[in-house]
Amino acid sequence: MASPFKVATVPLVSVRGDASQNVANVSARLADAALQGISLVVFPEANLVGYGDTLNLRRRELETLAEPLDGRSIDEVAKAVERSGVAAGVGFLERAPNGSLFNSYVICMPGGVRCCHRKLHMVEHPVIECGEQYTVLDTKWGVRIGILIGADNYLVENVRMTALMGATLLVAPHRTYGSDSNGEAALQRLSTEQRTRSHATESVGGAGWLRRSLIARASDNGIFVVFSNGSDVAAHQDGMIIDPGGQVLADHGSSSGTMLCASVDLGLIAGSVGQQCLAARRSDTNAPRARSMLPSANGYAERNGTAPRGAIALSFAQVSRIRQT
């Protein structure tokens, strides 16, 4: 690793529809993180928008909330990153050059690099489209970051594919926008049938399941996982940092602060059982899944538009042991 790498998760409660205030909150946290020697701060899904459940919003309202990747809010976050020297992962509603809307998450790096992932399993609103690609980013710290948003993390194969692409740290932003039948923070819906009003009160699993699942995914794949869960309700805030052996390094439930941090020791990855299992996989068993998951095209050049700051993203859906750069 080129230099010490320390990561933090900040499960903020965002202000609905007030991007300026949400950006100001992000900027303040980055300034605090710089004083603690933190390299990357992970904020929740859709934290710049403040909305999780968008089902009742009209398209006109969504378009008002949406911004391009080089829009004002992301530009302001990028400026805060440059001032602090701390990378930031933030969630926003993206308006693509062709007018399509996506639930997206961007990591802004010092130096101007922006890596954007579009949520793969997007059923919260019929107007917001699903992304088509996995996203992995190389960093100067020697950590290879994968991004999965919200319900993307529920499916075992999404995390496995990201790990097979070489990710050593999974950024897992999430947002809770309801409670299950037991009053526990509910999981997001994975299908349009679950999204309908007739199913709104049904329990599809609680936050406890998600926490256990993420610990298992870190152990299964031998990767670090940084989880940041935002909510409209402070009681549903949550955050964890998990190591490749499935040990929880930091947990919002055991801390009174809103910023949790931990050091990333890449030496734990190579020696993990999960990485040993990945290395032992038969290469010929990867082909069927690789063919079924190939995207139509790499859309990052299009979604980045004319941004001049050297933005890059490594987004592929094919399984390979060869590093993609």
pLDDT of residue 237: 73
pLDDT of residue 179: 60
Give the C-alpha distances (Å, rounded to integers) separating 185 from 42, 109, 176, 181, 210: 20, 32, 6, 10, 10
pLDDT of residue 305: 42
Q: Residues 15, 172, 89, 195: is their CA dihedral positive or negative?
A: negative
pLDDT of residue 83: 98
pLDDT of residue 192: 64
Sheet hosting strand 238-242, strand order edge to edge: 135-138, 144-147, 169-176, 224-231, 238-242, 248-251
Tell me the C-alpha distance between 245 and 236, whole Å. Answer: 26
H-assigned helices in 147-270:
156-164, 192-195, 207-221, 267-270
pLDDT of residue 64: 92
Of 219, 206, 241, the residue nearest 42 (C-alpha)? 241
pLDDT of residue 3: 54
Break the chain into its structural domains and give their ranges.
6-304
- Give the count of beta carbons closer than 10 Å to the beta carbon of residue 83: 13
pLDDT of residue 293: 46
- Using 50 as the pLDDT threshold, list the residues of the chain that sit under it: 1-2, 197-203, 254, 256, 291-312, 314-325
CATH classification for the domain delimited by 6-304, as one of 1.10.460.10, 2.30.29.30, 3.40.630.30, 3.60.110.10 = 3.60.110.10
Q: Residues 252, 6, 217, 275: is their CA dihedral positive or negative?
A: negative
pLDDT tens sequence across 25-46: 999 999 999 999 999 999 999 9
Tell me the C-alpha distance between 6 and 37, whole Å. Answer: 7
pLDDT of residue 196: 54
